[in-house]
Amino acid sequence: MSILGTIFNSVSLDLPKFNTLDEGIDYVVPYVAMYGERLSDTKMYLDKRWLEVRDDVNFQENVLHVFKDGGVYMRILDGDIATGNWELNVGGFVLKFAGKHELFELVFLNDDYFILRKHGDQSAKGQRKYFFVVREGLARRKEWTDLLEILFQIYKGNSNYIAVVAMFFVVVAVIVFFSLL
């Protein structure tokens, strides 16, 4: 297949149906990873209201997570605030809450998405693999499948740009080629 064919096929790529949020994140993240930020860029996640998203139909709570400067962590469950701490340590994001200390590694971070993976093999233990929080304004009244589609648009939008630029260069090359004849 030609390079242009590959570019145009990637632009029209649609998401398949996923059975779980973990499966969807596993699929989408390789496409969008290059557009993410680093944990050290704390302004991306400090003082924002991050709404927790899960694929569990029994999870009906409204859980906000707020990471404050100085390592203060607030977990707001249906308006009730509990506090803990967070820190960047041992190459990851350490969350200290309710007597637990958990190590997470960054999966993806931008202005709207903050996705962490708990260190270790959580799926073997029957636990969630990802801590998936989305900016509250974006996540309101959306299902996890909708949020994955919006995340995937980052890749598709940038792929469209690449396709337009590639097409521009092809047109210029054709014009130059025929002007030299």
38-65 pLDDT, tens digit per residue, is: 999 999 999 999 999 999 877 878 899 9
pTM: 0.78
pLDDT at 5 over 80: no
106 found inside a domain:
yes
pLDDT one-digit tens code per residue, 79-103: 999 999 999 999 999 999 999 999 9
Kindly state the percentage of the chain with pLDDT values over 70: 80
95 found inside a domain:
yes
104: left (phi over 0), alpha (psi -120 to 50) or beta: beta
CATH of the domain at 141: 2.40.128.370
67 found inside a domain:
yes
CA distance 162 to 140: 31
181 found inside a domain:
no
**Positive/negative CA dihedral, 140, 145, 150, 151:** positive
Rounded alpha-carbon distances, angstroms, from residue 181 to 22, 154, 167, 175, 178: 56, 41, 21, 10, 5
CA distance 38 to 107: 9
- Identify which of 97, 99, 98, 115 has the alpha carbon closest to the alpha carbon of residue 151: 115
178 found inside a domain:
no
Lookup: tokens for 45: 């996640």
pLDDT at 115: 97
4 found inside a domain:
no
pLDDT at 171: 63
166 found inside a domain:
no
pLDDT one-digit tens code per residue, 131-147: 999 999 999 889 999 99
What domain count does the chain have? 1
Parent domain of 145: 19-153
